[in-house]
Structure 1
Amino acid sequence: MQTRIFGGRHKHNPFESPAEFATGTTDQVNAEISKGNHMVAWGYPSKIDSEMNRLSRNENPEASWTWAKAMPSSNPERATYFKRNPLYNADGIGFSEDASDEVTERFMDYMDWLHTEEGMVFRTYGIEGVTYTKEGGNYVFTEQMSSPLKSEGKTLTNYGFVVFGRQHPNMNEYYYPYLAELEKTFLNREGYYYFNSPVMTYTDEESSELADITTSLNQTAQQYYAQFIMGYLDPENDKDWDSYIQTMKKLGLDRFCEIRTQVYERCNKK
């Protein structure tokens, strides 16, 4: 669920009730925007030009999205949290059991090279004079190539590239300057913090048990979220909140926390 908050020139909430707010239609949203209200949405800054402005302008030619330099917080006096990309992801490289040591070492040498300056340029931009040119300190895709600024054109896969490894930092500096600005804004601002997600390696038994519990917890949490947003339940009411917590406990919330804690402590011993 994407959270949307309306504000801007008008100081009041344009929607009369939580239910109306939660079920606002596209026409209602556009009507409020046309009155001078602004819209705040959670999203990826990298999609501002490629998706958000392009799609919004189908309805409103004057639509203009920008990223907010102040993150909403339920307790701004204490601190404001923002999420940073983890140091790892689910798209890692694996080796088959019959891969020889020679093959494995050769591949690892290649991966090491991909993280050098030369390797990052090769992985990100391809072949100089063919897929990119060097303009001052920037690497720029040639006219026949697609880029973050235009979707039409060839990609590196058309030239036989299998793209993995580390992206060259100049890509964001040249094509997405606001991403570099965004990082500097949050990393250097007092009161903002983030944490790197810890490595969590589960046994088959832990993964199986956790998957069953997580499915039930997520489904029930979504049901309660909807009732809180629609105003049928009040999270500030102790009875309503306790009912939510007790329901989650019956579905295995305590066991969920226990497994996650055990795995964290096992995988992150100092």
Structure 2
Amino acid sequence: MRVSVICPVYNGEIYLKNLFSKVREQENIDFIEIIAPVSKSSDSSLQEAEKYADLAYEVIDFNHGKTRHEAALKANGDYLVFITQDVMPVDNLWLYNLLKDLNEEFVAAFSRQIAYKEHGEIEKLIRDFNYPDIKRVCNKENAKINGRKNIFYSDASSAILKTEFFKLGGYDFIVPTNEDVILANNIIKSGKSFIYEPNSKVYHSHKLSLKDTYKRYEAIGKFEKLYSKEIDFSNTNGEGKKLALFTVKNLLKKGKIFDIGYFGVDILVRLLGYRKGEE
């Protein structure tokens, strides 16, 4: 397996040494190169990336889609693996498990995300809901079974055959967020499949302020409005209700009463942000 790992970087100096070292420790892989497009940062991100990546270069105007696409054009591997700077592989088989089932039919896959131990119970439960320990195949045939999750795909840790990536148009577009959802939808429209692979595991979670959460969901609302004619988002609200019920139920089981109150505020902020983005 010849793999190109693409990791956009912004103010990521503290992550790069450990992350890229862990990437290079991955087993059963013949060739790994790391490509780091670095947005102008206030720390030493570019210098650190130059130390630990095979190719690091400065990006003037970052875009979630276009920047990743331009990095993919520089790749020498047969597989393109996209990660974010704040993930960490759980073990040395993360990459092999992500790639092992890819072929001309199953052209892409994404990893299970597990919350970092230092993050709160709510974030852990949200990760558990969105990234369960159950493999899922997403394609036209499974659209009814999977519902909204049929286009759920995250390039915080994902892989795709390079030839298929470019056949599908890759990330060659300007987008405010959710470039990975567009790619997932394009895979399904092409008649191919992608896999949610729970045996490929990374640590990844956030500790966002309510203000940041509002901005994040405003961006998602804008994105879904922008692409509403191309992508079916009709199950979004239903999936949100399932997440809320799952989280509250498990918080009650754990006796986390204060967290339930905070989660109520968090859900309201998400909804307000999303609705604002839809306007």
| TM-score bracket for the superposition, by shorter chain length | under 0.3
Greater Rg over alpha carbons, structure: 1
Instruction: Flag the structure with more relative contact order, 1 or 2, with Cα contacts below 8 A and sequence separation at least 6.
Output: 2
Instruction: State TM-score, norm by structure 1.
Output: 0.22
